[in-house]
Structures are given as C-alpha cells and as structure tokens.
C-alpha cells in the first residue's frame, strides 16, 4: 500500500491500495480476498468492527446452528474440518472462519468503517473514506452483507412500552428472559428459533405472524430439504419441485394453516428465488406451536405500556419484546453516485449477474442465496479482477507505488 498524500493541508491521509479494496470482513469479504490471493492479486479489507465475521461473532444468538448442511456453507478453496457435524454450531462456524483467514494469511484492517466511497471519473479510481484515511484503488468490492444493520420497524406505541425491547441481533439466550411473557415480532428463521430458545428457559413466547410463511422440515427422508431441493432442481421444473416439497411438508408437519401459519400462494423455492424470503426450516418450534407453548398472534395493532393490542382485538401483557424483524443492507448510506444498487441497498441487476458493476465495482454476498451465493460470487470476481491484474502487470501501465493523486 503506497501513500498518495499531497501537499494540501487539512486533507485526510490518502493511501493507494495495491489491488482491490474490499469493504467488510464477513464470509464474503474473506472469500473474495482468498480467491484473489489464489489468482496472485493482493487486496485490503476494511472492516468496521474489531473482528472477522462480526455478524456471527457479535450479532447472533448462542444456540444458532447452520440450517443448511455444511457442504452448502463452505467457502471456496478451503472446506470445513471433516470432524464437524452436518449442521455446525455458531462456534464451529466462527472457528472455521478464523482458520480460513489464517490459512490465507488474511489480515483485515479493523475498526475502519467505510463512511463514503465514490468513483473519481477524472482519475479512474475509487476513493474510499473511513474515519481516518482515504483509500484509493481501481477496484471496489462491496462485501458489507445483506444483513448489515437491524431492521427496526416503526410500531405504534412501542416507545411507551416499559420493559426491554431488543432486536434479535442483540439477543443471546433465553436465560435473560426466564419465566417471562415475551412478544416476538417477526416469524422468519430468527423469530422461530428465538421462540424455541425462550421455551428452553420456561419463558412464554407469543410470536407475531403478520403475513404468510412457508415452514418446511429441515430434513425429509433423513436428507436435508435444501439438499433434496438442489438435487431435484437439476431434473424437474421449479414449480413441480415446490409441489413436491409442500406435499412432503404437509405430510410430515401437518396443515400449518390451522396453526395461523398461512402458506403463500407461491411455492417456497420459487418465492425464495423471486423475493429472497427464506422459508422457515423447522428445528423444533412447530411442535411447541402445536402444543400451545408458543402462541401465534396476528399482526400487532399497537404496543401499550405493559403489553400489546392485536389486529384480532385481543390484548395481552408482556414483560419483554424481541424484534425478530430481520436486517437490511447499509450500502446506500456510504456508496455514493452509483446507480448499481436499489434504494434498499441490493444490486439492481438480477441474479446471476449482480456481482459486477461498472468502473471496477463488484458485489459479493448479495444474491439472497446464503453462503452458497457468496462462494459463487467470490470465484467470479477473483477471475475477473485477476484477468485485469495480469493485463495491467504485463503492460506495466501503472507504477503502483507512485500513483499521482493530487485533488
């Protein structure tokens, strides 16, 4: 990394990066960095937190396990240890990420939050600003994730609630909610798994299900539902696959409509592909819903001082509220003057072409296809940049250590 400081006073220190700047040291940032290295391309990762894989280390609950089998959650070039179980725990996944970074000698720059990034058309470079430096490179890889920030919806009256209100990104375990009456808002995988965890601590969760939801068993016939879906998709059309999955789900789980969990009209995998909405993969909550230990409530109308009023007219008291309302991308807050992303911070170009923008802009981990999507993006990006890197090196057009950058 060379310095490109000029002689203007009061200007942020500016560093020329040899290779791409990667924003985010989660699985996506690490995977791109590793694949680039394999292609002979160095890179710099800027990470806002103080560790790799901060979502997993700092913003997930203790009982979390991968809900897809490990072979679908591996990053390129370096797999899980063989002794890991089929569904690794959060601790195991983190230790895998740490080994991955060690294996490829990846050393992100921690506590570097990217506040702004913009393409400088005049010089043909990306200018990327953190709190203390400006980093400059020909390439910018966005790896800040689909889950960068919690989604905190406005719910009428919530400010008047006197008990704790926490998002699932700060929920660690039901131990903090023993014996409590808890309102869980949101019924994705987080809301369902947190409700299950709360029951382990004799808490009484009420889960708010405001719209439709697909629940599938995590496994069918002893094989992972996801694995079966991936295999069958090679042979049968998507809609037929969904019909099959729903047939088996109805047979093994029963009719979930009767529990207040209404299924969408569109099938689970078609819906996932079209909108990114992940089906809930049941790891035990459904039997607690059936037994009444977890209560399903229609949408919340209003939160009160000590509870909630629901759309169906019921009113209940609660000790705590957990917002399992999902996450959002933060790209629009820092990536400027680029029309590659939607207002929600997702690439406008649909899968499988959303990994590459213009002027050396790349995105990894924004396909709504979990870690499998990350792995495929990382390979494509590293090949693409690797080709450019070799051409530049061969032509020796740029002297990397003395790039003039006066503003």
Q: Are the C-beta atoms of residues 377 and 363 closer than 8 Å to each other? A: yes
Residue among 129, 190, 363, 367 that touches ligand FAD (CB under 6 A): 190
User: Of ligand 3IO, ligand NDP, ligand FAD, none, which one does residue 144 interact with (CB within 5 to 8 Å by kind)?
Assistant: ligand FAD
Closer residue to ligand FAD (CB): 111 or 393: 111
334 binds ligand FAD (CB under 6 A): yes
CB of 254 to ligand FAD, least distance (A): 25
Contact (Cβ atoms closer than 8 angstroms) between residue 269 and residue 229: yes
Torsion angle of the four alpha carbons 94, 100, 106, 108, in this order, in degrees rounded to the nearest 10:
-20
Stretch that binds ligand 3IO, among 36-44, 116-124, 273-281, 347-355 (CB under 6 A): 273-281
Among 127, 263, 272, 295, binds ligand 3IO (CB under 6 A): 272
Residue 219 CB, shortest distance to ligand NDP, in Å, is 14
Nearest to 25 by CA among 1, 58, 70: 58
Distance separating alpha carbons of residues 22 and 24, to the nearest angstrom: 6
Between 141 and 303, CB nearer to ligand FAD: 141
- Span from 123-131, 271-279, 303-311, 318-326 in contact with ligand 3IO (CB under 6 A): 271-279
Q: Which residues of 308-328 are buried (b: 16+ CB within 10 A; e: fewer)?
A: bbbeeeeeeebbbbbbbbbbb
Burial class (CB in 10 A: 0-12, 13-18, 19+), 103: exposed
Among 23, 41, 64, 68, binds ligand 3IO (CB under 6 A): 68
Which one of ligand 3IO, ligand NDP, ligand FAD, none interacts with residue 186, CB within 5 to 8 A by kind? Answer: ligand NDP
Told to check if 330 binds ligand FAD by CB under 6 A, we report: yes
For ligand 3IO, which residue of 29, 108, 279, 360 counts as binding (CB under 6 A)?
279
Site size toward ligand 3IO, by CB under 6 A: 8
- Given the rule CB under 6 A, which residues bind ligand NDP? 64-67, 153, 155, 168, 185-191, 193, 208, 210-211, 278, 324-327
Which CB sits closer to ligand FAD, 27 or 307?
A: 27
- Cα–Cα dist 34/311, whole Å: 50
The verdict on 144 binding ligand FAD (CB under 6 A) reads: yes
Least distance from ligand NDP to the Cβ atom of residue 136, Å:
34
- Give the strand pairing for 21-23 and 44-46: parallel
Q: Is 27 in the site for ligand 3IO (CB under 6 A)?
A: no
Can you tell me which of 56, 226, 340, 389 binds ligand 3IO, judged by CB under 6 A?
Answer: 226
């Amino acid at each position: 990394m060379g310095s490109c400081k000029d002689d203007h006073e009061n200007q942020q220190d500016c560093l020329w990066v040899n290779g791409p700047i990667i924003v985010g040291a989660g699985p996506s940032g690490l995977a791109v960095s590793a694949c680039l290295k394999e292609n002979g391309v160095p890179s710099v990762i800027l990470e806002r937190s103080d560790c790799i894989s901060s979502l997993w280390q700092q913003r997930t609950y203790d009982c979390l396990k991968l809900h897809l089998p490990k072979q679908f959650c591996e990053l390129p070039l370096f797999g899980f240890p063989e002794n890991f179980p089929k569904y690794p725990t959060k601790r195991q996944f983190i230790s895998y990420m740490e080994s991955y970074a060690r294996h490829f000698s990846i050393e992100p720059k921690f506590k570097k939050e990217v506040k702004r990034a913009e393409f400088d058309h005049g010089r043909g470079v990306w200018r990327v600003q953190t709190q203390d430096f400006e980093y400059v490179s020909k390439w910018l890889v966005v790896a800040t994730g689909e889950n960068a920030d919690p989604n905190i919806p406005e719910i009428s009256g919530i400010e008047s609630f006197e008990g704790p209100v926490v998002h699932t990104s700060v929920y660690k375990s039901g131990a903090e909610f023993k014996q409590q009456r808890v309102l869980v808002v949101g019924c994705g995988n987080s809301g369902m798994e947190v409700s299950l965890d709360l029951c382990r601590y004799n808490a009484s969760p009420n889960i708010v299900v405001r719209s439709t939801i697909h629940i599938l068993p995590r496994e069918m016939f002893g094989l992972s539902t996801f694995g079966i879906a991936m295999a069958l998709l090679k042979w049968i059309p998507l809609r037929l696959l969904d019909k099959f999955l729903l047939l088996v789900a109805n047979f093994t789980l029963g009719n979930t409509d009767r529990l207040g969990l209404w299924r969408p009209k569109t099938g689970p995998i078609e819906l996932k592909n079209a909108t990114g909405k992940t089906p809930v993969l049941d790891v035990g909550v459904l039997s607690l819903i059936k037994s009444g230990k977890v209560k399903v409530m229609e949408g919340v109308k209003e939160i009160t001082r000590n509870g909630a009023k629901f759309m169906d007219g019921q009113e209940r008291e609660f000790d705590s509220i957990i917002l399992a309302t999902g996450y959002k991308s933060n790209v629009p807050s820092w990536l400027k003057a680029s029309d590659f992303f939607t207002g929600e911070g997702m690439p406008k170009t649909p899968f499988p072409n959303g990994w590459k923008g213009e002027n050396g802009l790349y995105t990894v981990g924004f396909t709504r296809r979990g870690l499998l999507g990350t792995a495929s993006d990382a390979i494509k990006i590293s090949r693409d940049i690797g080709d450019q890197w070799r051409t530049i090196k061969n032509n020796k057009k740029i002297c990397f250590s003395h790039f003039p950058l006066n503003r």
